[in-house]
Amino acid sequence: GENVGLHLPTLSVQEGDNSIINCAYSNSASDYFIWYKQESGKGPQFIIDIRSNMDKRQGQRVTVLLNKTVKHLSLQIAATQPGDSAVYFCAENPYGGSQGNLIFGKGTKLSVKP
Amino acid sequence: ETGVTQSPTHLIKTRGQQVTLRCSSQSGHNTVSWYQQALGQGPQFIFQYYREEENGRGNFPPRFSGLQFPNYSSELNVNALELDDSALYLCASSWTAAGVEGYTFGSGTRLTVV
């Protein structure tokens, strides 16, 4: 299958631990952000999104934090499972998500040890 | 409801040749966007099609062109292939009103140029 994780920063965690993946975004005008998960041989899969009028949003086992002052996003995964192993990308959009395209970050490879 | 399907899944071409990649959008989606993902990188926006017209373009040369058909499916054409065109090409469809919020990605076409 596709090895999308070559040459990417890698985060290795033990099963059951919490994971934190960080992302610095580029455009101060961006006001909508998405975290994607990409497994080998697949396209990016939506995990969670957040708008710039929020600084935190929670989903099922995932939390996204946004710090607009330093243009930083983080994705927290609680009780990490082997199925969470993948490459994670943050993406930004300067139109509130209503139009345009996404600008993707470089990605982080998450490896979960059983 | 069907997802986004791309064909072929893998392709090998010789430098200088031309290639056509295909994408069927998710049922109910009328906008198609194409991204190039080099190994170990995040996806980069190529262009978007809405109502059979190009509706935004990234920093790619004119030898990258596309089409959208009345059924909202799309093609990506690349002429005069170069070695650096080797990448995973991703198609994402969405409903215009949803913009990038409603993006659904296909699994991609892996193009290798030799």
Question: pLDDT (tens digit, 0 to 9) for every residue of chain B, 114 residues total?
Answer: 569 999 999 999 999 999 999 999 999 999 999 999 999 999 999 999 999 999 999 999 999 999 999 999 999 999 999 999 999 999 999 998 778 888 999 999 999 999
Residues of A in contact with B43 (CB under 8 A): 44, 89, 102, 104
Q: Which residues, 6 or more positions from A77, have their beta carbon under 8 angstroms from its beta carbon?
A: A18, A19, A20, A21, A61, A62, A84, A110
**Residue contact B101–A49, C-beta within 8 A:** yes
Residues of A with CB under 8 A from a CB of B: 2-8, 32, 34, 41-46, 49, 89, 91, 93, 95-107
Task: Note the pLDDT tens digit of each residue in B78-111.
Answer: 999 999 999 999 999 999 877 888 899 999 999 9
Task: Note the pLDDT tens digit of each residue in A20-58.
Answer: 999 999 899 999 999 999 999 899 999 999 999 999 999
Q: Where are the beta strands (DSSP E) in B1-114?
A: 5-7, 10-13, 19-24, 31-37, 44-50, 53-57, 64-68, 74-78, 87-94, 104-105, 109-113
